[in-house]
């Protein structure tokens, strides 16, 4: 995994992929699957919708740190497996054969098998809507990975895989933020 310029980190979340979120509760790492995410700023700032119904939320609330890890299509069954069991009674990382790697600025781990990882600190909780606002503080991309197609949850048990990429950089030049 190579360091990625923070100015580019929002481009990992903007396409709307399924994301794994790692947390650490002081004793143990945990991981959850989430697709309710949103870019809020190029800084980068992100929103995720989660609450007490997720076991990971208590650790996020208390320690105010997480890692957003972006899986690719070859990890689909791990993604679904993580989403269908609870960290309350399972060591999900070990069960899904995902390898935690120490992060640089936060305690929750990066996930070695993922295409990209973003270390995040919580900057706000919007309790009335179960929104957690995160600021990315370090980012990484596995530039040697062959499989780079991300997954998009439909919400009905099916997942759309990234297809081809179309380039409109020239048309959009005036609107792009610096550094991307």
- Under the rule (CB under 8 A), what is the footprint of its own copies? 8, 10-11, 14-17, 35-41, 47-49, 73, 76-77, 80-81, 83-84, 124, 126, 128-131, 133, 149-177, 180
Q: How far is the CB of 177 from its own copies (least distance, A)?
A: 8
Nearer to its own copies, 58 or 131 (CB): 131
Nearer to its own copies, 94 or 161 (CB): 161
Nearer to its own copies, 27 or 163 (CB): 163
Q: How far is the CB of 76 from its own copies (least distance, A)?
A: 6
Nearer to its own copies, 58 or 81 (CB): 81
CB 50 within 8 A of CB 19: no
Q: How far is the CB of 104 from its own copies (least distance, A)?
A: 24
Looking at the DSSP bridge assignments, the partners of residue 20 are 33, 69
Q: What does the alpha-carbon distance between residue 26 and residue 23 come to, in Å, rounded to a whole number?
A: 9
Q: How far is the CB of 66 from its own copies (least distance, A)?
A: 16
Q: How far is the CB of 75 from its own copies (least distance, A)?
A: 12
- DSSP run (H or E) holding 116: strand 116-126
CA angle 47, 49, 53 (to 5 degrees): 150
**Nearest one of 133, 139, 171 to 41, comparing CA atoms:** 133
Q: How far is the CB of 107 from its own copies (least distance, A)?
A: 25
| C-alpha dihedral, 35 to 38 to 19 to 68, nearest 10° | -150
Nearer to its own copies, 80 or 101 (CB): 80
Q: What does the alpha-carbon distance between residue 83 and residue 161 come to, in Å, rounded to a whole number?
A: 18
Looking at the DSSP bridge assignments, the partners of residue 132 are 48, 125
CA angle 33, 122, 5 (to 5 degrees): 80
Nearer to its own copies, 62 or 149 (CB): 149
């Amino acid at each position: 995994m190579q360091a990625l310029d923070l100015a580019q980190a929002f481009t990992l979340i903007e396409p709307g992929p399924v994301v794994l979120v790692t947390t650490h509760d002081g004793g143990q790492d945990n991981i959850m699957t989430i697709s309710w995410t949103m870019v809020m700023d190029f800084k980068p700032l992100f929103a995720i919708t989660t609450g007490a119904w997720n076991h990971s939320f208590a650790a996020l609330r208390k320690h105010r740190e997480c890692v957003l890890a972006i899986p690719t299509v070859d990890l689909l069954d791990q993604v679904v497996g993580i989403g269908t069991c609870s960290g309350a009674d399972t060591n999900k990382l070990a069960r899904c054969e995902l390898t935690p790697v120490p992060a640089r600025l936060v305690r929750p781990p990066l996930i070695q098998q993922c295409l990209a990882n973003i270390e995040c600190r919580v900057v706000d909780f919007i309790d009335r809507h179960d929104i957690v606002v995160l600021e990315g503080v370090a980012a990484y991309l596995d530039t040697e990975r062959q499989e780079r197609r991300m997954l998009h949850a439909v919400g009905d048990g099916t997942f759309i895989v990234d297809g081809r990429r179309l380039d409109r950089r020239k048309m959009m030049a005036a609107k792009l933020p610096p550094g991307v």
